[in-house]
Amino acid sequence: MLTNIPGYPRIGSQRELKKACENYWAGKISLERLELTSRQLRKENWNGLQETGIDLIPSNDFSWYDQVLDMCMTLGVIPSRFKALQQTFANPGCPELYFAMARGYQKNNFDITALEMTKWFDTNYHYLVPEFESVQQYTLHQPKCVEEFKEALSHGITTKPVLIGPVTFILCGKIKGDDLTHTQLLEKLLPVYIELLRSLQQAGATWIQLDEPFLVTDLDPATRDLYHAAYTAISQALPALSILLTTYFGALEDNTTLALQLPVQAVHIDLVRAPEQLDAVLAALPADKWLSLGVVDGRNIWKNDYAASVALIEKAIQQIGEERVLLGTSCSLLHVPYNLEDETALDPEVKQWMAFAKQKVAEVIALKHIIAGDTSLLIDNETVMNSRKISSRIHQPEVKARLESVTTADTQRHSIFPHRQKLQQSVLQLPLFPTTTIGSFPQTTEIRQLRADLKKGIITPETYNADIRNAITETIYRQESLGLDVLVHGEFERNDMVEYFGEQLDGFVFTQNGWVQSYGTRCVKPPVIFGDVQRPEPMTVAWSRFAQSLTSKPVKGMLTGPITILQWSFVRNDQPRMQTAMQIALAIRDEVKDLEDAGITIIQVDEPALREGLPLRKAQRAAYLSEAVKAFRLAVSTVDDSTQIHTHMCYAEFNDIIVHIAAMDADVITIETSRSQMELLEAFAGFKYPNETGPGVYDIHSPRVPAIAEMEALLHKAAALLPLRNIWVNPDCGLKTRKWPETEMALRNMVTAAKNVRLAMSN
């Protein structure tokens, strides 16, 4: 029985890659230095996995920014707007083009927007969306995976290169213009894929992992044909290559036969998300195929329940024999932190239930040993599992009782929206096209340093609070002088919009170094929900009250919603996720009420992860959405009609869930639309979305300063689609990753654009 790891974290256990890339971008280190750090990180990962005894060690799971972007560069999927830049940086070893595609490029007389970024399936990891154009000619542009395979070989390690499979690569991209079909695209890409796989084979690769997570989604007949065409062509061209077709994040279900009949050596399935699929897969597995069992959770941080995993493994062994079984994690370990051993401050009782990437690899090896007869490991694990089941730290009867007493009335505002809107207009007295921002302002090095100093005890809480108050004061005045209508306090006191709340809620623990890549060099440290959640005391009220005291303009209270807190945390797996979400909703509800009582007239409850949590299978979506909407409504429906509830969402395609967005019944929703040129608003208009909407007028992910005319044009587009009094003017998302100068320039232009449109509309 071989052991298999589909992918390992790449940011470095101390986020060395983040620091190296950011320093390279800032011109503080050379390319050689960045490459040196990268080589060191890859070597550490490979050596670590080899020392633990893993058989199929991944390579090409490393990336400077994103593995989908790497695939674009490898195959030459480069949008034509980068052509001139590509000629300027013709040397394939030069990363300028790569980073420009990731981050946009606005210097040396170029002004090129980045590739779109979106969520990788239902994770908090973002990938860059490939753009396919009919004029593109694909060639092996930068065979990074071959270089990394050879690099590992030079350390004496034969790795299993990991690539995005051809069909998933196509499906996660966008075809620009409609003169190219998926079939034509596959025909163009396949020869390059085959050339790449051949190069890997020639370099000595025997196993190659092709990731095809789209196989756990609903597929139409044309897409199924793509799978047949792609894998038939690959196996005919390279019959001796062992392809490990890798699926994760769900069950194959109706794609079981399709996946198992493809001409590959082995198929990997996710038995953490979908243990029930094992029987069907074993029954349909052809006699010449191997099965890779993903039994150790790559998406969460809980220790593996060995008894449950062993039952699955033994079932597979009994039916197909040990020699055809591979054993591993459910998916790449990219989604969990490096090493639990680094956590010296974690509550020991909770810590004993947890496992990070390094521990998960050890669990895979332990399971192999148990299968080989070492039952002592099983007994130790059972003791830990039992301690979690009976721990008094987890269950809080008063939380459960409160949740049981929730009624439908608790999830409904007092009056319907038109009535609330009138009341709110008379209280708030806002102009047409009111301007606002999404909440965060630049998290400068100085602000982050303050928090670091507080943590290290270099400054006192009093000094920290005073400095944060100064930052808020300055930001309120900046917003006033920019002429914004609805202000925010800037979120300076927050390390992260989820971790900050986790730190203040019972039932959570948080880590010191549990970093996970979110996009590019940006990382998050998801808090861990281990028990029943409740709010011991107000979390944001003092900051909001202070900010409001500085101005006569409304300052939005700023909270994170229950589904987003759930999605961006590591969630307990001993009760349904939605039960946990409802407990969080009650905690947020108390905060909403306290903010209102403190005189805050507008309260924003962000739900950017609501779309991300949508089940990958359509059949499961309605149930999720109805519960997610209920959780949001429970969180906000405590307020008076005159209090305006905002919500915010980004990174999402909302067309298919617009009905549910409307059901949230927020008075105002601010959404990301600028990268798609407001395409999304057609869905809002078509559906006659009744409440107010702030379609983002500029992309905050890039330092590029948008021109007034650009934003005016977008606002005119919105005005043609929505009732004028329902339109707000705001950026796509929060400004925490931006610097102050570009932020001020962009907002000044935005306010001018709003004023111009107001004027044009009143004439």
Ligand X SMILES: CN1c2c(nc(N)[nH]c2=O)NC[C@@H]1CNc1ccc(C(=O)N[C@@H](CCC(=O)N[C@@H](CCC(=O)N[C@@H](CCC(=O)O)C(=O)O)C(=O)O)C(=O)O)cc1
Give the helix/strand (H/E) hosting 3: strand 2-4
Q: Which does 496 bind (CB under 5 to 8 A by kind): ligand HCS, Zn ion, ligand X, none?
A: ligand X
N residues, the chain: 763
Tell whether residue 733 is a contact of Zn ion (CB under 5 A).
yes
Q: Which does 495 bind (CB under 5 to 8 A by kind): ligand HCS, Zn ion, ligand X, none?
A: ligand X
Phi-psi region of 278 (alpha: psi -120 to 50; beta: other; left: phi over 0): alpha
Query: Rounded to whole angstroms, how far apart are CA atoms 223 and 168?
Result: 10
The reply to whether 124 sits in an annotated binding site is yes
Of 168, 175, 238, 178, the C-alpha closest to 202 is: 238
**Between 271 and 524, CB nearer to ligand X:** 524
The reply to whether 648 sits in an annotated binding site is yes
- Min dist CB 675 to ligand HCS, Å, is 15
Give me the residues that bind ligand HCS (CB under 6 A), please. Answer: 438-440, 497, 558, 606, 608, 648, 650, 733-734, 736
Output DSSP code: residue 366. Answer: H
The reply to whether 606 sits in an annotated binding site is yes
**Between 648 and 704, CB nearer to ligand HCS:** 648
Q: Helix 461-482 to helix 740-762 angle, to the nearest 10 degrees?
A: 40
Q: Give every CB contact of residue 216 below 8 A, 6+ residues apart in sequence.
A: 247, 248, 249, 250, 251, 252, 253, 255, 270, 274, 616, 617
Of 119-127, 287-295, 561-569, 731-739, which segment contacts Zn ion by CB under 5 A? 731-739
Q: x/- string (CB under 5 A) for Zn ion, residues 601-620?
A: -------x------------
The strand ranges marked E within 639-684 are 644-649, 668-671
Query: Rounded to whole angstroms, how far apart are CA atoms 149 and 61?
Result: 11
- Min dist CB 525 to ligand HCS, Å, is 16
Q: Which does 522 bind (CB under 5 to 8 A by kind): Zn ion, ligand HCS, ligand X, none?
A: ligand X
**Between 260 and 680, CB nearer to ligand HCS:** 680
Of 87-95, 683-691, 709-717, 729-737, which segment contacts Zn ion by CB under 5 A? 729-737
In angstroms, how far is CA 17 from the centroid of its own chain? 19
- Min dist CB 497 to ligand HCS, Å, is 5
The reply to whether 650 sits in an annotated binding site is yes
N-term to C-term CA, the chain: 76
**Between 270 and 491, CB nearer to ligand X:** 491
Structure tokens at 480: 């006033």
**Between 333 and 539, CB nearer to ligand HCS:** 539
Residue 291 and residue 267 in contact, taking contact as beta carbons nearer than 8 Å:
yes
Query: Rounded to whole angstroms, how far apart are CA atoms 763 and 752?
Result: 17
- Min dist CB 201 to ligand X, Å, is 38
**Between 119 and 633, CB nearer to ligand X:** 119
Give me the residues that bind ligand X (CB under 6 A), please. Answer: 124, 443, 448-449, 451-452, 495-498, 518-519, 522-525, 568, 608, 736-737
Residue type, 52: T
Query: Rounded to whole angstroms, how far apart are CA atoms 542 and 461?
Result: 14
Query: Rounded to whole angstroms, how far apart are CA atoms 60 and 379?
Result: 37
Active site annotation includes 182: no
Q: Where are the alpha helices (DSSP H) in 637-700?
A: 658-664, 679-686
Residue type, 30: S
Tell whether residue 650 is a contact of Zn ion (CB under 5 A).
yes
Q: Which does 558 bind (CB under 5 to 8 A by kind): Zn ion, ligand X, ligand HCS, none?
A: ligand HCS
Active-site pick, 228, 489, 701, 716: 701
Structure tokens at 45: 């990962």
- Binding stretches for Zn ion (CB under 5 A): 608, 650, 733
Binding-site sequence positions for Zn(2+): 648, 650, 672, 733
Binding-site sequence positions for 5-methyltetrahydropteroyltri-L-glutamate: 15-18, 119, 124, 522-523, 568, 612
Active site residues: 701
